[in-house]
Amino acid sequence: MALSISKSKFLAGLQCELLLWTHYNARDRIPDPGPAQQFIFDTGHLVGDLAKRLYPGGIEIRRDRPDGRPDIPATVAETARLLPQRKPLFEASFLADGRYVRVDILVPADGEAWDLYEVKSSTQVKDVNLWDVAYQYDCLTRAGVELDRLFLMHLNNTYVRRGGLDVQALFAAEDVTTEARERAPLVPGLFDRFARVIAGDEPTVDIGPHCTSPYTCPLRDRCWAGLPEHPVTEFHRVGKKAFAWMAEGMATMAEVPADRLSAVQRVQQDAASSGQARFDAAAVRSWLDSLEYPLWHLDFETMAPAIPLFDGTRPYQRIPFQFSLHVQDTPGAEPRHIEYLATEPVDPRPGLLEALRAIGPDGTVLAFNKTFEMGVLDELARDFPAHAAMCADLNSRMKDLADIFRRFQVYHPDQKGRYSLKNVLPAWTDLAYDDLEIADGQAAARAFLQAVFPEAAGLDPASVNEAGKAKVLADLRAYCGLDTLAMVKLMEVLRREAQ
Ligand code: SF4
């Protein structure tokens, strides 16, 4: 069968030729999309379907095979049949000179020309999107389609929902005709090169910044598995320098001369070489002395629906739906646990704000990475002015447990250069997130949206039953509860070791 390179494979080739080769020659090495990736796909479909509402009377072209996969020849043939009708077309498909593309929306323009719209669920145009449109332009031009203007349509982050969804205002269409046409002449050369890569032996490609940009590569775990223990990529804020050092033959932290490292990176190097943690007892004592009891260990969980669900909110605005609070009246005292979790498909913020009043007027509010909690409280104050004084008070009393770890005043080599709660907790205590169904904030946001607002997650509401929802809510309680219990346990470690 003649080679055809779809738009997504062309973009994969731009990111990495090994990734491209693997798609065609060793597909089984590429893991199926996990829940996070699937959620992104579902959001994309949701946004794509909404964009179609802007063109009433448009014709959906996709044809599927009996196994549910797209029937490319049938869709291409149907596209050719429908083009003369001069109506907006959704998912029109073209195969020309080995290029295969499916266009989100084609709209009749003047004369025989068409305007092309590529719909993205993001809120801004990225460089890779311009290549996306350039490839479509190259393919459609070869297929004999006259294109007038080329647009990237994305969510408008200045849109604020008031009442029903205003689909017109929800989207922003950026005319990228000039930028995409400028790139289009480069496409044939790249296409030919990619065709040779696909037909050739497995290419050798070093790991590098391209493994995570513009997308996290699905082969990352596989390609990065060969790194030694404590590799140079583990250095704090090392960026591209790590790959330059690797090119010089330095693979481990220990191999990099100390005079090329920052103070924090030297702490890491010492810890990795000796296997010993760093604990700056004086700094910890001074920080502990700045706290006032009762100590309110606070953690929020938020979701960020692409399509605003509530009045006054924008695309991807973070909406807190849960908090956990462990309260300790005196150092070492048994903590009390207070929590809030929204369970119904209504705006969770009013209920959460009322529940936050459980935090008394005295004592320090402790967060781990307080920028996040303070930001959430600032946004709540903005959107619910009646609670602004409480939010301001909580923020004025907030301290950050992560500071000690962020400054590497306390550092364990098992943290592997990171200081998130997920890395710090197992390094310093016998607690970890491994056994939890929900083990990070993004998974929590996803699970909540899918269980409580399934349509906003691009799911069929019938796919969520009460038992499934109850299980998700229980998992969310376990996860958020551990976030603040983790802080209590870390405080115990700090107090003990600082004595
Ligand atoms: S992990 Fe990096 S080197 Fe490996 S295929 Fe992906 S982008 Fe290429």
128-152: average pLDDT: 98
pLDDT at 275: 95
Residue 409, pLDDT above cutoff 80: yes
For atom 2 of ligand 1, which residue has the closest CA? 211
- Rounded distance from Cα 32 to ligand 1 centre (Å): 16
CB 214 within 8 Å of CB 128:
yes
- Rounded distance from Cα 300 to ligand 1 centre (Å): 35
For atom 4 of ligand 1, which residue has the closest CA? 223
Rounded distance between C-alpha atoms, residue 94 and residue 103, angstroms: 8
Residue 283, pLDDT above cutoff 80: yes
Closest atom of ligand 1 to 207 CA is 3
pLDDT at 3: 85
Asked if residue 253 has its Cβ within 6 Å of ligand 1, the reply is: no
Three-state SS at 369? coil
Asked if residue 489 has its Cβ within 6 Å of ligand 1, the reply is: no
Rounded distance between C-alpha atoms, residue 225 and residue 403, angstroms: 31
Tokens representing 189 are 């050369």
Residue 1, pLDDT above cutoff 60: no
Contacts of residue 111, defined as CB under 8 A and 6 or more positions apart, other chains included, come to 146
The 3-state DSSP composition of the chain as helix, strand, coil percent (nearest 5) reads 50, 15, 35
CB 495 within 8 Å of CB 332:
yes
- Rounded distance from Cα 216 to ligand 1 centre (Å): 9
Residue 115, pLDDT above cutoff 90: yes
pLDDT at 220: 97
Rounded distance between C-alpha atoms, residue 374 and residue 372, angstroms: 5
- Kindly indicate the confidence band of residue 255, based on its pLDDT and cuts at 50, 70 and 90: very high
Going by their DSSP bridges, the two strands 398-400 and 364-367 should be labelled as parallel
Cβ-based neighbour number of residue 84 at 10 Å: 8
Q: What is the pTM of this model?
A: 0.92
Residue 9, pLDDT above cutoff 90: yes
110-119: average pLDDT: 97
Give residue-wise pLDDT tens across range 368-407: 999 999 999 999 999 999 999 999 999 999 999 999 999 9
Give residue-wise pLDDT tens across range 437-482: 999 999 999 999 999 999 999 888 888 899 999 999 999 999 999 9
For atom 1 of ligand 1, which residue has the closest CA? 220
Give residue-wise pLDDT tens across range 68-80: 888 999 999 999 9
pLDDT at 127: 96
pLDDT at 305: 96
Asked if residue 223 has its Cβ within 6 Å of ligand 1, the reply is: yes
DSSP tag of 96:
E
Asked if residue 219 has its Cβ within 6 Å of ligand 1, the reply is: yes
pLDDT at 41: 93
pLDDT at 464: 85
Contacts of residue 275, defined as CB under 8 A and 6 or more positions apart, other chains included, come to 413
Contacts of residue 225, defined as CB under 8 A and 6 or more positions apart, other chains included, come to none
311-334: average pLDDT: 97
- Kindly indicate the confidence band of residue 260, based on its pLDDT and cuts at 50, 70 and 90: very high
Asked if residue 29 has its Cβ within 6 Å of ligand 1, the reply is: no
Asked if residue 18 has its Cβ within 6 Å of ligand 1, the reply is: yes
- Rounded distance from Cα 249 to ligand 1 centre (Å): 19
Q: Which domains does the chain have, with CATH numbers?
A: 5-199 (3.90.320), 235-276 (no CATH), 282-498 (3.30.420.10)
Average pLDDT, the chain: 96
pLDDT at 378: 98
Rounded distance between C-alpha atoms, residue 90 and residue 106, angstroms: 7
Ligand 1 mutation target, pool 11, 210, 215, most atoms within 8 A of CB: 210
Going by their DSSP bridges, the two strands 89-96 and 99-108 should be labelled as antiparallel
Closest atom of ligand 1 to 218 CA is 6
- Rounded distance from Cα 215 to ligand 1 centre (Å): 11
